[in-house]
Chain A
Amino acid sequence: MSSTKPTIKVRTKDVIAIHWFNAFFWLTLVLTGFGIISGDFVRLAPAFWPTFLQNLLGGNANLVLLHGIGGMVWAGVIGVYALLNFKRVVLPFLKNVLVLTPKAAIADMSSMVITLAHLFGLLKHKSVPPQGRYNGAQRLLGTMIIACSLAIAVTGLYLFLSPMLLDFAASAGVLGGVFRWALVIHLAAVLLVLLGLVAHIYFAVVEEPESLETMKSGEAEVAFIKHHNPLWYAELEREGKV
């Protein structure tokens, strides 16, 4: 960090590594996934993309294989990491980020709306309520990403492995039906996460580059925490960390 302002270590190297691992695999899997879906009725990317990628990799069979293996590596590494670091990383993260009650969802949504309105110079008279380690928008996005990632991993495994391992014809249409619905859930979950990622990337790059810096160095400026996350700052104060 080039700044000389006082900082505090808020992320460990392994958390930073898993974040960028996740980001890299998301980018790769989204690009390859949109290259697989080819039919005009169900395709989302412009027609040139599946054609280009399938030609590049010598056919859709290779692309499906790459996407499937990539997806299993993504889910496998994050799954194993989560299991091995459940108490140290996962549990505190879930505790901070999960929005589980309607009351919490309404509070987070309200603070998210105020934050978004401020971007356009609206609702200036309303200030964002004091936030903890994650703000309302981050908590809502985090909850959505966790739910969608689980759905993507489960449906992805079924989409990749079931045609190889299961006998669709013997199931009187049941396994094929599950495949078709898994495809809908897989796609919808990816689109939901992409929606959130637009905001996530904008805030990290444009509004709060300090957060991006933290995701590289692990260090956060104390003044930034005090200003943006006063409840977290108070917590750190109580713990004697600042």
Chain B
Amino acid sequence: MVAKYVMLADTTRCINCKACEVACRAEWDTPLGYSRDWVKEVEYVNAKGLPEVQLFPGRCQHCDDPPCVEVCPSGASWKRDDGIVLVDHAICSGCELCVPACPYDARWLNPVTNTISKCTFCQPRIDKGLQPACVDTCVGRALIFGDANDPNSEVSQLLKAKEWQKLVTDEVNIGPNHYYYTAGKAIPDTVMPKLNERHLSGTLMENIVNPLGTLGIGGMMAVFLGAGIKKLIDRRQDVSNKEGSHEQH
């Protein structure tokens, strides 16, 4: 069976030490000010009137139905069979059509490579049988990575043992493969995905240029096919009329 890679984040074990971010930036040599992963810190007053902090380690959620792949004109954004969403840097133009399409703000234009950068679950490391850099370095064991299709994997065991949540809303539910354990606490709205947006140019292409083009070309083909059929019928009629008049003579 093909693997299905998932990331689990136990928010009760995260201490916001940023080791995951440091490891990721070292692994991928991201430019200053840019990171492929992050920890969101949410402060609020709980039901007892006491201040509380929740920590949400985040990255690309490697969704089952990724809008970043669907919006990419060149196919540079693609999804492997094992669920990992990748960017082919050889063909990424850096047009950023995918950036607002991601509801998790997981994509950015790398100023060094001029292509889109995002978490890949450290795909080269996984392919060598290693863990992603952020998981390897997580001091609190808040991050757990593995194959959810393998019933013996740690992630499969943990998914069965605890109540995990995903960052989904009624409006945005595109099958993220990143799970969060919050010990029953609700996930704050600020961590939830935003409605995925589109550049006007992409929307125009999807909703106006492509449908009008398809309709137009289809319509033209239908019109001229009709004209051709009529011409054929008229010609047959002419031939049979001529044959009829020959027989009369």
Contact = CB atoms under 8 A, between A and B. Distances in A.
Contacts of A177: 199, 201
A176 B96 contact: yes
Given A169-B111, A183-B201, A188 B94 contact: no
B213 A44 contact: yes
A112 interface: no
Contacts of B8: none
Given A39-B72, A42-B71, A180 B77 contact: no
A194 B210 CA distance: 13
Nearest to A169: B111
B109 interface: yes
A169 B114 contact: yes
Interface in A161-183: 162-163, 167-170, 173, 176-177, 179-181, 183
A180 B114 CA distance: 15
B110 A169 contact: yes
B70 A41 contact: yes
Given A120-B227, A184-B204, A39 B95 contact: no
Instruction: Give the bracket for the number of chain B residues in contact with chain A.
Output: 35 or more
Interface stretch (A8-16, A74-82, A198-206, A225-233): A198-206
A64 to B, nearest CB: 6
B201 A163 contact: no
A68 to B, nearest CB: 11
Contacts of A206: 224, 227-228, 231
Contacts of B209: 184, 187-188, 191
A184 B205 contact: yes
Interface in A38-74: 38-42, 44, 50, 54, 59-61, 64
A173 B96 contact: yes
B159 interface: no
A64 B111 contact: no
A121 interface: yes
A61 B88 contact: yes
Contacts of A168: 94-96, 109, 114
Interface stretch (B119-127, B148-156, B215-223): B215-223
A198 B214 contact: no
A29 interface: no
B75 A39 contact: yes
Contacts, number: 138
Interface string B85-118: 0001011111111000000000001111010000
Contacts of B72: 38-39, 42
Interface in A112-141: 116, 119-121
A39 B71 contact: yes
B110 A180 contact: no
A152 interface: no
B73 A37 contact: yes
Interface of B: 67, 69-77, 88, 90-97, 109-112, 114, 199, 201-202, 204-206, 209-210, 212-214, 216-217, 220-221, 223-224, 226-228, 230-231, 234
A83 interface: no
Contact of B202 (A120, A180, A188, A191): A180
B88 A40 contact: no
The 9 closest A-B pairs by CB, nearest first: A38-B75, A191-B213, A169-B111, A180-B201, A198-B220, A163-B93, A119-B227, A202-B224, A40-B70
Given A179-B95, A191-B212, 17 more contacts: A42-B71, A42-B72, A42-B97, A42-B206, A64-B74, A116-B223, A119-B230, A121-B234, A163-B92, A168-B94, A176-B95, A180-B202, A183-B73, A184-B201, A188-B213, A191-B209, A195-B213
A179 B228 CA distance: 41
Given A120-B227, A198-B224, A42 B93 contact: no
Contacts of B201: 177, 180-181, 183-184
A36 interface: yes
A198 to B, nearest CB: 4
B221 A198 contact: yes
Contacts of A184: 201, 204-205, 209
A64 B91 contact: yes
B101 to A, nearest CB: 8
Nearest to A187: B209
